[in-house]
Amino acid sequence: MAGYFSNHSQSRFLANSAPGTGTSSATTATPQTPTTPNPPTPHKAARFSSDEKSNAKEKTGVVGGGSVNGASVHPLKNTWVFWFRQHRAPGNKITNYEEGIKKISAFSSVESFWSLWTHLHPPSSLLPTTDYLLFHSGIRRPVWEDPLNLSGGKWIIRLKKGVADRLWEDLVLAIVGDQFDDVAEGRELKDGKESVDPNDEWPEICGCTISVRQSEDIITVWNKIDGDAKTKDRISATIRRALNLPPTTQMEYKSNNDSMQDKSSFRVPPVERTPLS
């Protein structure tokens, strides 16, 4: 695994950062003014990847569909919101986690995404301990206790320092580009009964985070329902494919209920650690 990760120490993400931000810079650069998230729209979103960056970045960032100066805007299926948790000294616990979370901006088109993304510093330029969070607009606050997070959990991937920029970008593109769209098809709960979810208008993937720490970086992918093993397996397979992870990569799953019980985001008993194979 060490050999794999060392091959990605030079991330294409760094091309988006401003000069001189590689070591100790401010956390974000001129974030856009937060906008009011809209509910999901029924149209099919345009799937996109980093290959479309050069074209999309030339257009003005606008939340929603339509056109700008005669150029068409490509709407996403959902509105997404970037959040930021401020730097704190390692070991300095925050009594109220929510107080440290700040909203950056919402976006609902390819163009508005790239307009925002190019103004965010990459994870490699952030100080420990700092988090980026991306959640759809149905999540009022990106915390365990949010009604849409309460019954779910998250996949956890621990990264060697130096590789987070590329993997974080690939993960964000996969989520807002609907690569996880089909993971909950034919959902069944643990008792074998078909799920009847009043929140079905929202995607199965609630969001993702990256946590910059002193000796590692941690990526998480949050999903809506903890009790569906098949859906969780499909999510892990999609993560592996989207991030091009080797088969030996270990992923851990932790329910938000367990996190609320032990007051920990990333602590997982060894018996629950699941290697990808």
Percent of the chain with pLDDT over 70: 63
Question: pLDDT band at 202, cuts 50/70/90?
Answer: very high
What is the rounded distance in angstroms from the CA atom of residue 133 to the CA atom of residue 128?
15
How many other CB atoms are found less than 10 A from the CB of residue 91? 7
pLDDT at 220 over 60: yes
Q: What's the average model confidence in pLDDT over 148-173?
A: 96
The token duo for 92 is 């300095």
pLDDT at residue 69 in the model: 64
pLDDT at 4 over 70: no
Ramachandran angles phi, psi of 152, nearest 5°: -110, -160
Q: What value does the mean pLDDT of the chain take?
A: 76
Q: pTM of the full predicted structure?
A: 0.71
What is the rounded distance in angstroms from the CA atom of residue 217 to the CA atom of residue 211?
6
Q: Which residue has the higher pLDDT, 137 or 93?
A: 137
Measure CA of the first residue to CA of the last residue in the chain; give whole Å: 13
Q: Return the CATH number of the domain spanning residue range 54-275.
A: 3.30.760.10
pLDDT at residue 94 in the model: 58
- Summarised one tens digit per residue, pLDDT across range 63-122 is 445 565 667 899 999 999 999 998 676 666 655 677 789 999 999 999 999 999 999 999
pLDDT at 239 over 80: yes
- Helix/strand/coil (H, E, C) string of the chain? CHHHHHCCCCCHHHHHCCCCCCCCCCCECCCCCCCCCCCCCCCCCCCCCHHHHHHHCCCCCCCCCEEECCEEECEEEEEEEEEEECCCCCCCCCCCHHHHEEEEEEEEEHHHHHHHHCCECCHHHCCCCEEEEEEECCCCCCCCCCCCCCCCEEEEEEECCCCHHHHHHHHHHHHHCCCCCCCCCCCECCCCCECCCCCCCCCCEEEEEEEECCCCEEEEEEECCCCCHHHHHHHHHHHHHHHCCCCCCEEEEEEHHHHHHHCCCCCCCHHHEEECC
Give how far Cα 226 sits from Cα of 13, 134, 277, Å: 32, 19, 21
- Say if residues 69 and 152 touch (Cβ distance below 8 Å): no
pLDDT at residue 2 in the model: 35
The token duo for 97 is 């986690």
The token duo for 11 is 């991330």
Question: pLDDT band at 126, cuts 50/70/90?
Answer: very high
- Summarised one tens digit per residue, pLDDT across range 29-56 is 334 444 444 444 434 444 554 444 444 4
pLDDT at residue 67 in the model: 60
- Say if residues 153 and 235 touch (Cβ distance below 8 Å): no
Question: pLDDT band at 124, cuts 50/70/90?
Answer: very high
pLDDT at residue 99 in the model: 79
